[in-house]
Amino acid sequence: MLRVRFAPSPTGYLHIGSARTYIFNWLYARRNGGAVVLRIDDTDLERNTQESLDSIFDGLGWLGLPWDELYRQSERLPLYREMAEALLAKGAAYRDFTPAYDGAEERPYSESAWLFDPVMRGLSRQESDRRAAAGEPFVIRFRVPRETRRSVEFRDAVFGDQSKATADMEDFALLRSNGMPTYHLASSADDVDLRATHVIRGQDHLTNTFKHVLLFEAAGAEPPQFAHLPLLIAPDGAKLSKRKHGPVVSVTTYRDGGFLAHAFVNFLCLLGWSPKDGRERMSRPELTEAFSFEGINKSNAVVNFTEDDPFDPKAVWLNAEHLRALADQDLARHMEPFLTAAGYKVEPERLLAVTPLVRERIRTLKDAVAVADFFFLNELAPYDGAELVPQKGDAKLALAVLERAVPLLAGTGFRRDSLEAALRAEAAAMGIKTGQMFQPIRVAVCGRKAAPPLFETLEVLGRETCLKRIRQAIQRLRS
Protein backbone atom coordinates (compact mmCIF):
# COMPACT_ATOMS: atom_id res chain seq x y z
CA MET A 1 0.00 0.00 0.00
CA LEU A 2 1.42 3.33 -1.07
CA ARG A 3 1.47 5.91 1.69
CA VAL A 4 2.61 9.50 1.61
CA ARG A 5 2.82 11.91 4.46
CA PHE A 6 2.73 15.67 4.88
CA ALA A 7 4.33 16.94 8.05
CA PRO A 8 3.87 20.64 8.80
CA SER A 9 5.09 22.14 12.02
CA PRO A 10 2.71 24.59 13.70
CA THR A 11 5.21 27.41 14.02
CA GLY A 12 3.70 29.85 11.54
CA TYR A 13 0.74 29.93 9.23
CA LEU A 14 0.44 27.52 6.34
CA HIS A 15 2.41 29.10 3.56
CA ILE A 16 2.11 28.47 -0.11
CA GLY A 17 5.28 26.40 -0.32
CA SER A 18 3.91 23.98 2.27
CA ALA A 19 0.59 23.96 0.49
CA ARG A 20 2.29 22.98 -2.73
CA THR A 21 4.13 20.16 -0.98
CA TYR A 22 0.82 18.92 0.37
CA ILE A 23 -0.80 19.13 -3.06
CA PHE A 24 1.98 17.13 -4.69
CA ASN A 25 1.72 14.49 -1.98
CA TRP A 26 -2.02 14.33 -2.41
CA LEU A 27 -1.83 14.12 -6.17
CA TYR A 28 0.77 11.40 -6.07
CA ALA A 29 -1.21 9.36 -3.56
CA ARG A 30 -4.47 9.72 -5.46
CA ARG A 31 -2.80 9.01 -8.77
CA ASN A 32 -1.43 5.75 -7.43
CA GLY A 33 -4.24 4.67 -5.17
CA GLY A 34 -2.39 5.46 -1.95
CA ALA A 35 -3.22 7.04 1.39
CA VAL A 36 -2.40 10.55 2.61
CA VAL A 37 -1.15 10.88 6.16
CA LEU A 38 -1.22 14.29 7.80
CA ARG A 39 1.27 14.48 10.62
CA ILE A 40 1.64 17.50 12.82
CA ASP A 41 5.30 17.91 13.72
CA ASP A 42 4.82 19.68 17.01
CA THR A 43 7.90 18.72 18.98
CA ASP A 44 9.20 22.25 19.44
CA LEU A 45 7.33 23.30 22.55
CA GLU A 46 8.62 26.87 22.53
CA ARG A 47 7.59 27.70 18.99
CA ASN A 48 4.32 25.86 18.58
CA THR A 49 1.18 27.98 18.64
CA GLN A 50 -2.50 27.20 18.49
CA GLU A 51 -3.11 29.92 15.89
CA SER A 52 -0.59 28.33 13.69
CA LEU A 53 -2.26 24.96 14.03
CA ASP A 54 -5.61 26.57 13.20
CA SER A 55 -4.07 28.24 10.19
CA ILE A 56 -2.82 24.90 8.91
CA PHE A 57 -6.21 23.22 9.18
CA ASP A 58 -7.85 26.33 7.78
CA GLY A 59 -5.62 26.41 4.75
CA LEU A 60 -5.65 22.68 4.13
CA GLY A 61 -9.40 22.57 4.56
CA TRP A 62 -9.88 25.30 2.00
CA LEU A 63 -7.82 23.45 -0.58
CA GLY A 64 -10.41 20.72 -0.49
CA LEU A 65 -7.95 17.85 -0.71
CA PRO A 66 -8.81 15.57 2.18
CA TRP A 67 -6.29 13.47 4.08
CA ASP A 68 -6.91 9.95 5.27
CA GLU A 69 -5.15 9.80 8.62
CA LEU A 70 -4.05 12.35 11.16
CA TYR A 71 -1.33 12.14 13.83
CA ARG A 72 0.39 14.50 16.18
CA GLN A 73 3.94 13.92 17.23
CA SER A 74 3.25 15.36 20.66
CA GLU A 75 1.00 12.34 21.23
CA ARG A 76 3.61 9.84 20.12
CA LEU A 77 6.57 10.82 22.29
CA PRO A 78 7.15 7.36 23.81
CA LEU A 79 7.88 5.99 20.35
CA TYR A 80 10.73 8.42 19.83
CA ARG A 81 12.19 7.89 23.27
CA GLU A 82 12.14 4.17 22.79
CA MET A 83 13.98 4.49 19.54
CA ALA A 84 16.57 6.78 21.09
CA GLU A 85 17.04 4.38 23.98
CA ALA A 86 17.38 1.45 21.64
CA LEU A 87 20.05 3.24 19.63
CA LEU A 88 21.83 4.19 22.82
CA ALA A 89 21.76 0.58 24.03
CA LYS A 90 23.12 -0.62 20.70
CA GLY A 91 25.90 1.91 20.81
CA ALA A 92 24.58 3.58 17.68
CA ALA A 93 24.05 6.71 19.74
CA TYR A 94 25.72 8.31 22.76
CA ARG A 95 25.08 10.88 25.44
CA ASP A 96 26.61 14.30 25.05
CA PHE A 97 26.77 16.30 28.28
CA THR A 98 27.96 19.50 26.62
CA PRO A 99 25.65 22.40 27.49
CA ALA A 100 23.49 23.63 24.61
CA TYR A 101 25.14 26.15 22.35
CA ASP A 102 23.74 29.55 23.19
CA GLY A 103 24.65 31.42 20.04
CA ALA A 104 26.71 33.97 21.95
CA GLU A 105 29.73 33.67 19.70
CA GLU A 106 30.65 32.56 16.21
CA ARG A 107 31.01 28.86 15.71
CA PRO A 108 34.49 27.74 14.77
CA TYR A 109 33.56 26.54 11.30
CA SER A 110 37.11 26.32 10.05
CA GLU A 111 38.06 23.32 12.17
CA SER A 112 36.50 19.92 11.85
CA ALA A 113 35.47 20.09 15.50
CA TRP A 114 31.87 20.67 14.46
CA LEU A 115 31.49 17.00 13.51
CA PHE A 116 31.49 15.77 17.10
CA ASP A 117 33.13 16.22 20.48
CA PRO A 118 35.70 13.40 20.79
CA VAL A 119 35.50 13.41 24.58
CA MET A 120 31.76 12.91 24.64
CA ARG A 121 31.79 10.47 21.78
CA GLY A 122 34.47 8.46 23.57
CA LEU A 123 32.85 8.39 27.01
CA SER A 124 32.69 4.88 28.46
CA ARG A 125 29.27 3.41 29.04
CA GLN A 126 29.81 3.32 32.81
CA GLU A 127 30.89 6.93 32.91
CA SER A 128 27.98 7.96 30.73
CA ASP A 129 25.48 6.06 32.84
CA ARG A 130 26.95 7.45 36.05
CA ARG A 131 26.68 11.07 34.92
CA ALA A 132 23.18 10.53 33.64
CA ALA A 133 22.13 8.90 36.91
CA ALA A 134 23.61 11.85 38.77
CA GLY A 135 21.08 14.03 37.00
CA GLU A 136 23.43 15.80 34.63
CA PRO A 137 21.55 17.01 31.53
CA PHE A 138 22.53 15.53 28.19
CA VAL A 139 21.53 15.26 24.60
CA ILE A 140 21.55 11.95 22.75
CA ARG A 141 23.50 12.06 19.50
CA PHE A 142 23.64 9.68 16.63
CA ARG A 143 27.05 8.08 16.19
CA VAL A 144 27.73 8.53 12.47
CA PRO A 145 29.63 5.37 11.43
CA ARG A 146 32.58 7.12 9.88
CA GLU A 147 34.94 4.22 10.66
CA THR A 148 32.89 1.51 9.00
CA ARG A 149 31.24 3.37 6.21
CA ARG A 150 32.56 5.69 3.59
CA SER A 151 29.36 7.22 2.32
CA VAL A 152 25.60 7.21 2.45
CA GLU A 153 23.56 7.12 -0.70
CA PHE A 154 20.02 7.14 -1.89
CA ARG A 155 18.14 7.76 -5.08
CA ASP A 156 15.91 10.77 -5.26
CA ALA A 157 13.00 10.62 -7.69
CA VAL A 158 13.65 14.21 -8.74
CA PHE A 159 17.33 14.86 -8.18
CA GLY A 160 18.67 11.43 -9.02
CA ASP A 161 21.45 9.55 -7.26
CA GLN A 162 22.75 11.24 -4.14
CA SER A 163 25.81 10.44 -2.14
CA LYS A 164 27.54 12.00 0.81
CA ALA A 165 30.75 11.12 2.63
CA THR A 166 30.19 10.15 6.24
CA ALA A 167 33.28 12.25 6.97
CA ASP A 168 31.16 15.28 6.12
CA MET A 169 28.29 14.35 8.42
CA GLU A 170 28.12 15.55 11.99
CA ASP A 171 26.85 13.53 14.93
CA PHE A 172 23.39 15.04 14.92
CA ALA A 173 21.12 15.20 17.94
CA LEU A 174 18.24 12.76 18.39
CA LEU A 175 16.84 13.58 21.82
CA ARG A 176 17.10 16.96 23.49
CA SER A 177 18.01 17.44 27.10
CA ASN A 178 14.34 18.11 27.86
CA GLY A 179 13.46 14.66 26.59
CA MET A 180 11.83 15.87 23.38
CA PRO A 181 12.93 14.34 20.11
CA THR A 182 14.54 16.39 17.38
CA TYR A 183 13.02 16.60 13.96
CA HIS A 184 15.37 14.00 12.50
CA LEU A 185 14.49 11.38 15.09
CA ALA A 186 10.76 12.02 15.27
CA SER A 187 10.37 12.26 11.53
CA SER A 188 12.28 9.09 10.78
CA ALA A 189 10.72 7.12 13.61
CA ASP A 190 7.28 8.10 12.36
CA ASP A 191 8.07 7.40 8.75
CA VAL A 192 8.98 3.89 9.86
CA ASP A 193 6.11 3.44 12.26
CA LEU A 194 3.47 4.96 10.00
CA ARG A 195 4.85 2.98 7.06
CA ALA A 196 5.46 5.88 4.71
CA THR A 197 6.44 4.50 1.35
CA HIS A 198 7.19 7.86 -0.22
CA VAL A 199 8.61 10.98 1.31
CA ILE A 200 7.78 14.00 -0.81
CA ARG A 201 9.03 17.24 0.68
CA GLY A 202 10.96 20.44 0.04
CA GLN A 203 14.49 20.44 -1.26
CA ASP A 204 15.62 22.04 1.98
CA HIS A 205 15.56 18.48 3.30
CA LEU A 206 17.68 16.97 0.56
CA THR A 207 20.89 17.00 2.60
CA ASN A 208 19.03 15.97 5.76
CA THR A 209 18.01 12.83 3.97
CA PHE A 210 21.44 11.28 4.45
CA LYS A 211 20.86 11.43 8.19
CA HIS A 212 17.45 9.94 7.79
CA VAL A 213 18.75 7.08 5.69
CA LEU A 214 21.19 6.29 8.47
CA LEU A 215 18.34 6.32 10.98
CA PHE A 216 16.16 4.04 8.86
CA GLU A 217 19.00 1.59 8.62
CA ALA A 218 19.75 1.78 12.31
CA ALA A 219 16.08 1.04 12.97
CA GLY A 220 16.30 -1.95 10.70
CA ALA A 221 13.86 -0.47 8.21
CA GLU A 222 14.00 -0.08 4.48
CA PRO A 223 14.21 3.64 3.60
CA PRO A 224 11.17 4.95 1.71
CA GLN A 225 11.43 6.48 -1.72
CA PHE A 226 12.35 10.12 -1.66
CA ALA A 227 11.23 12.92 -3.92
CA HIS A 228 12.45 16.41 -3.14
CA LEU A 229 10.73 19.41 -4.57
CA PRO A 230 12.38 22.63 -5.75
CA LEU A 231 11.66 25.48 -3.39
CA LEU A 232 9.28 28.35 -3.92
CA ILE A 233 11.12 31.63 -3.57
CA ALA A 234 10.28 35.33 -3.44
CA PRO A 235 11.04 37.73 -6.32
CA ASP A 236 14.18 38.79 -4.47
CA GLY A 237 15.40 35.21 -4.47
CA ALA A 238 14.98 34.69 -0.76
CA LYS A 239 12.94 31.83 0.50
CA LEU A 240 9.39 32.66 1.46
CA SER A 241 9.07 33.68 5.06
CA LYS A 242 6.41 35.20 7.21
CA ARG A 243 8.80 37.59 8.84
CA LYS A 244 10.21 38.96 5.62
CA HIS A 245 7.26 38.71 3.21
CA GLY A 246 4.24 38.93 5.47
CA PRO A 247 0.80 37.54 4.74
CA VAL A 248 1.40 37.41 0.98
CA VAL A 249 2.81 33.95 1.48
CA SER A 250 -0.16 32.67 3.45
CA VAL A 251 -2.67 30.38 1.81
CA THR A 252 -5.55 32.21 3.48
CA THR A 253 -4.54 35.43 1.74
CA TYR A 254 -5.45 33.82 -1.57
CA ARG A 255 -8.68 32.49 -0.18
CA ASP A 256 -9.67 35.88 1.20
CA GLY A 257 -8.52 37.58 -1.98
CA GLY A 258 -11.16 35.76 -3.97
CA PHE A 259 -9.33 32.79 -5.44
CA LEU A 260 -11.09 29.58 -6.25
CA ALA A 261 -9.40 26.86 -4.24
CA HIS A 262 -8.89 24.75 -7.30
CA ALA A 263 -7.44 27.61 -9.34
CA PHE A 264 -4.95 28.14 -6.55
CA VAL A 265 -4.10 24.46 -6.52
CA ASN A 266 -3.69 24.54 -10.29
CA PHE A 267 -1.36 27.53 -10.04
CA LEU A 268 0.80 25.93 -7.37
CA CYS A 269 1.09 22.76 -9.41
CA LEU A 270 2.56 24.71 -12.28
CA LEU A 271 5.34 26.01 -10.07
CA GLY A 272 8.07 23.43 -10.40
CA TRP A 273 6.02 20.92 -12.31
CA SER A 274 4.50 20.75 -15.77
CA PRO A 275 2.58 18.14 -17.73
CA LYS A 276 4.24 16.71 -20.82
CA ASP A 277 1.81 18.52 -23.09
CA GLY A 278 1.54 22.27 -22.61
CA ARG A 279 -1.72 22.31 -20.67
CA GLU A 280 -2.08 25.00 -18.04
CA ARG A 281 -5.68 25.20 -16.98
CA MET A 282 -6.41 21.74 -15.64
CA SER A 283 -9.22 20.22 -13.63
CA ARG A 284 -8.53 18.18 -10.55
CA PRO A 285 -8.97 14.83 -12.33
CA GLU A 286 -6.69 16.07 -15.09
CA LEU A 287 -4.02 17.08 -12.60
CA THR A 288 -4.30 13.81 -10.76
CA GLU A 289 -4.07 11.86 -13.95
CA ALA A 290 -1.09 13.81 -15.30
CA PHE A 291 0.98 14.06 -12.15
CA SER A 292 4.30 12.28 -11.99
CA PHE A 293 7.77 12.92 -10.58
CA GLU A 294 9.21 13.06 -14.11
CA GLY A 295 7.52 16.39 -14.69
CA ILE A 296 9.12 17.99 -11.65
CA ASN A 297 11.73 20.60 -12.28
CA LYS A 298 14.98 20.89 -10.36
CA SER A 299 15.39 24.61 -9.96
CA ASN A 300 13.58 26.90 -7.56
CA ALA A 301 10.52 28.77 -8.76
CA VAL A 302 9.76 32.42 -8.13
CA VAL A 303 6.33 33.41 -6.88
CA ASN A 304 5.72 36.93 -8.12
CA PHE A 305 4.28 39.46 -5.74
CA THR A 306 4.86 43.12 -4.97
CA GLU A 307 4.02 45.53 -2.21
CA ASP A 308 0.92 46.67 -4.08
CA ASP A 309 -0.19 43.34 -5.43
CA PRO A 310 0.21 40.20 -3.37
CA PHE A 311 -0.88 37.90 -6.18
CA ASP A 312 1.19 36.43 -8.98
CA PRO A 313 -0.27 37.62 -12.32
CA LYS A 314 -0.31 34.09 -13.57
CA ALA A 315 -2.30 32.93 -10.57
CA VAL A 316 -4.78 35.71 -11.24
CA TRP A 317 -5.05 34.78 -14.90
CA LEU A 318 -5.53 31.12 -14.08
CA ASN A 319 -8.18 32.03 -11.54
CA ALA A 320 -10.01 34.07 -14.19
CA GLU A 321 -9.81 31.10 -16.53
CA HIS A 322 -11.44 28.83 -13.98
CA LEU A 323 -14.01 31.46 -13.12
CA ARG A 324 -15.06 31.67 -16.76
CA ALA A 325 -15.43 27.92 -16.96
CA LEU A 326 -17.84 27.77 -14.02
CA ALA A 327 -21.58 27.24 -14.46
CA ASP A 328 -23.69 30.27 -13.56
CA GLN A 329 -25.02 28.68 -10.39
CA ASP A 330 -21.56 27.77 -9.20
CA LEU A 331 -20.05 31.14 -9.95
CA ALA A 332 -22.97 32.87 -8.24
CA ARG A 333 -22.55 30.69 -5.19
CA HIS A 334 -18.85 31.51 -4.98
CA MET A 335 -19.35 35.26 -5.42
CA GLU A 336 -22.14 35.54 -2.91
CA PRO A 337 -20.06 35.63 0.29
CA PHE A 338 -17.83 38.37 -1.12
CA LEU A 339 -20.79 40.54 -2.04
CA THR A 340 -22.43 39.94 1.28
CA ALA A 341 -19.21 40.75 3.11
CA ALA A 342 -19.11 44.05 1.22
CA GLY A 343 -22.47 44.89 2.74
CA TYR A 344 -24.74 44.28 -0.23
CA LYS A 345 -28.09 42.68 0.14
CA VAL A 346 -27.93 39.89 -2.38
CA GLU A 347 -31.09 38.24 -3.64
CA PRO A 348 -30.45 34.88 -5.27
CA GLU A 349 -32.42 35.53 -8.48
CA ARG A 350 -30.84 38.90 -9.01
CA LEU A 351 -27.38 37.44 -8.39
CA LEU A 352 -27.99 34.68 -10.88
CA ALA A 353 -29.09 37.23 -13.48
CA VAL A 354 -26.02 39.37 -12.82
CA THR A 355 -23.57 36.49 -12.96
CA PRO A 356 -23.27 36.13 -16.73
CA LEU A 357 -22.73 39.88 -16.98
CA VAL A 358 -19.74 39.89 -14.65
CA ARG A 359 -18.09 36.56 -15.38
CA GLU A 360 -15.82 37.86 -18.12
CA ARG A 361 -15.05 41.00 -16.19
CA ILE A 362 -13.68 39.56 -12.97
CA ARG A 363 -10.40 37.88 -12.27
CA THR A 364 -11.07 37.13 -8.63
CA LEU A 365 -14.32 36.59 -6.80
CA LYS A 366 -13.63 39.75 -4.88
CA ASP A 367 -13.61 41.73 -8.12
CA ALA A 368 -17.35 41.07 -8.29
CA VAL A 369 -17.84 43.64 -5.55
CA ALA A 370 -16.41 46.46 -7.64
CA VAL A 371 -17.84 45.27 -10.95
CA ALA A 372 -21.39 44.48 -9.87
CA ASP A 373 -21.98 46.94 -7.04
CA PHE A 374 -24.58 49.03 -8.92
CA PHE A 375 -26.80 46.00 -9.35
CA PHE A 376 -27.21 45.70 -5.61
CA LEU A 377 -27.17 49.30 -4.49
CA ASN A 378 -30.34 51.30 -3.99
CA GLU A 379 -28.57 54.60 -4.38
CA LEU A 380 -25.62 54.86 -6.72
CA ALA A 381 -22.35 55.94 -5.15
CA PRO A 382 -21.46 59.51 -6.05
CA TYR A 383 -19.82 59.78 -9.45
CA ASP A 384 -18.33 62.49 -11.61
CA GLY A 385 -21.10 64.14 -13.63
CA ALA A 386 -18.66 64.83 -16.44
CA GLU A 387 -18.68 61.09 -17.15
CA LEU A 388 -22.20 61.50 -18.52
CA VAL A 389 -20.88 63.53 -21.42
CA PRO A 390 -20.21 61.30 -24.44
CA GLN A 391 -17.26 61.37 -26.79
CA LYS A 392 -17.41 64.27 -29.22
CA GLY A 393 -20.37 65.69 -27.40
CA ASP A 394 -21.24 68.12 -24.65
CA ALA A 395 -23.47 68.32 -21.61
CA LYS A 396 -26.30 69.51 -23.79
CA LEU A 397 -26.15 66.34 -25.85
CA ALA A 398 -26.02 64.20 -22.74
CA LEU A 399 -29.06 65.93 -21.40
CA ALA A 400 -30.92 65.54 -24.68
CA VAL A 401 -30.12 61.81 -24.80
CA LEU A 402 -31.28 61.21 -21.27
CA GLU A 403 -34.45 63.20 -21.73
CA ARG A 404 -35.31 61.14 -24.79
CA ALA A 405 -34.41 57.97 -22.97
CA VAL A 406 -37.00 58.44 -20.26
CA PRO A 407 -40.13 58.15 -22.36
CA LEU A 408 -38.44 55.59 -24.54
CA LEU A 409 -37.60 53.25 -21.68
CA ALA A 410 -40.94 53.86 -20.10
CA GLY A 411 -42.65 52.62 -23.23
CA THR A 412 -40.45 49.76 -24.37
CA GLY A 413 -40.58 46.12 -23.44
CA PHE A 414 -37.78 45.66 -20.93
CA ARG A 415 -35.99 42.88 -22.71
CA ARG A 416 -32.48 42.95 -24.08
CA ASP A 417 -33.53 42.78 -27.73
CA SER A 418 -36.31 45.32 -27.69
CA LEU A 419 -34.17 47.71 -25.68
CA GLU A 420 -31.39 47.43 -28.21
CA ALA A 421 -33.77 47.97 -31.14
CA ALA A 422 -35.38 50.96 -29.51
CA LEU A 423 -32.14 52.65 -28.49
CA ARG A 424 -30.45 52.08 -31.83
CA ALA A 425 -33.45 53.47 -33.65
CA GLU A 426 -33.45 56.49 -31.41
CA ALA A 427 -29.76 57.15 -32.02
CA ALA A 428 -30.42 57.03 -35.74
CA ALA A 429 -33.39 59.36 -35.37
CA MET A 430 -31.28 61.84 -33.43
CA GLY A 431 -28.51 61.56 -35.96
CA ILE A 432 -25.85 60.60 -33.42
CA LYS A 433 -23.52 57.65 -33.05
CA THR A 434 -24.71 54.74 -30.99
CA GLY A 435 -21.87 55.28 -28.55
CA GLN A 436 -23.03 58.83 -27.96
CA MET A 437 -26.47 57.49 -27.25
CA PHE A 438 -25.39 54.66 -25.00
CA GLN A 439 -22.76 56.27 -22.85
CA PRO A 440 -24.90 58.84 -21.03
CA ILE A 441 -27.43 56.13 -20.28
CA ARG A 442 -24.77 53.70 -19.14
CA VAL A 443 -23.18 56.19 -16.80
CA ALA A 444 -26.54 57.33 -15.47
CA VAL A 445 -27.52 53.79 -14.71
CA CYS A 446 -24.18 52.28 -13.63
CA GLY A 447 -22.40 55.31 -12.24
CA ARG A 448 -19.35 54.72 -14.41
CA LYS A 449 -18.18 54.25 -17.97
CA ALA A 450 -16.73 50.77 -17.64
CA ALA A 451 -19.63 48.41 -17.24
CA PRO A 452 -21.23 45.29 -18.72
CA PRO A 453 -23.10 45.50 -22.04
CA LEU A 454 -25.86 48.08 -21.80
CA PHE A 455 -29.03 46.24 -22.82
CA GLU A 456 -28.50 43.24 -20.62
CA THR A 457 -27.65 45.58 -17.80
CA LEU A 458 -30.85 47.57 -18.26
CA GLU A 459 -32.89 44.42 -18.37
CA VAL A 460 -31.43 43.06 -15.16
CA LEU A 461 -31.72 46.39 -13.40
CA GLY A 462 -35.37 46.72 -14.36
CA ARG A 463 -37.40 49.60 -15.65
CA GLU A 464 -38.05 51.26 -12.34
CA THR A 465 -34.42 51.50 -11.24
CA CYS A 466 -33.25 52.59 -14.66
CA LEU A 467 -35.78 55.39 -14.92
CA LYS A 468 -35.04 56.56 -11.42
CA ARG A 469 -31.32 56.76 -12.04
CA ILE A 470 -31.72 58.46 -15.39
CA ARG A 471 -33.96 61.10 -13.85
CA GLN A 472 -31.39 61.67 -11.13
CA ALA A 473 -28.74 62.17 -13.81
CA ILE A 474 -30.97 64.64 -15.61
CA GLN A 475 -31.30 66.61 -12.38
CA ARG A 476 -27.54 66.73 -12.05
CA LEU A 477 -27.04 67.97 -15.58
CA ARG A 478 -29.61 70.68 -15.14
CA SER A 479 -28.23 72.02 -11.89
Enumerate the H helices of 152-283 as residue ranges.
Answer: 183-193, 209-218, 242-245, 251-256, 261-269
One-letter amino acid identity for 83?
M
DSSP letter for each residue of 194-232? TT-SEEEEEGGGTTTHHHHHHHHHHTT----EEEEEPPE
**How does strand 198-202 pair with strand 139-142?**
unpaired
- The answer to whether 451 and 362 are in contact (CB under 8 A) is no
3-state helix, strand, coil in the chain (%, to 5): 50, 10, 35
Number of residues that bind RNA (CB under 7 A): 87
**Looking only at residues 396 through 455 of this chain, which bind RNA when binding is defined by CB under 7 A?**
420, 434-435, 438-439, 442, 449-455
Reading phi first (left if > 0) and then psi (alpha if -120 to 50, else beta), residue 447 is in: left
Residue 217: Cβ within 10 Å count:
15
List binders of RNA among 89-148 (CB under 7 A).
Answer: 98-101, 107, 109-110, 114, 137-139
> What is the C-alpha separation between 245 and 236, in angstroms, rounded?
10
The verdict on 328 binding RNA (CB under 7 A) reads no
Residues between 25 and 44 with contacts to RNA, criterion CB under 7 A: 41, 43-44
User: What are the CA-CA distances from residue 103 to residues 99, 118, 173, 241 (Å)?
Assistant: 12, 21, 17, 22
Exposed, middle or buried: residue 471 (CB in 10 Å: 0-12, 13-18, 19+)?
Answer: middle
- Please, which residue, 65 or 303, has the CB nearer to RNA? 303
Cβ closest to RNA, residue 208 vs residue 340 = 208
Which residues in 58-87 contact RNA (CB under 7 A)?
none
- Residue closer to RNA, measured from CB, 69 or 347: 69
Considering only 182, 188, 253, 319, the residue that binds RNA (CB under 7 A) is 182
Binding test (CB under 7 A) with RNA, winner from 69, 82, 129, 178: 178
Which is nearer to RNA, 22 or 438 (by Cβ)? 438
Looking at 84-92, 123-131, 202-210, 400-408, which segment touches RNA (CB under 7 A)? Answer: 202-210
Which of 173, 196, 332, 445 is in the footprint of RNA by CB under 7 A?
173
Site for RNA in 221-280 (CB under 7 A): 230-231, 233, 237-239, 270-274, 276, 278, 280
107/345 with CB nearer RNA: 107
Query: Within 371-390, which residues bind RNA (CB under 7 A)?
Result: none
Residues designated as active site: 242
Where does this chain touch RNA (CB under 7 A) — which range of 50-58, 218-226, 291-299, 345-353?
291-299
Could you say whether residue 180 binds RNA (CB under 7 A)?
A: yes
77-90 and 183-193 helices cross at what angle (nearest 10)? Answer: 100
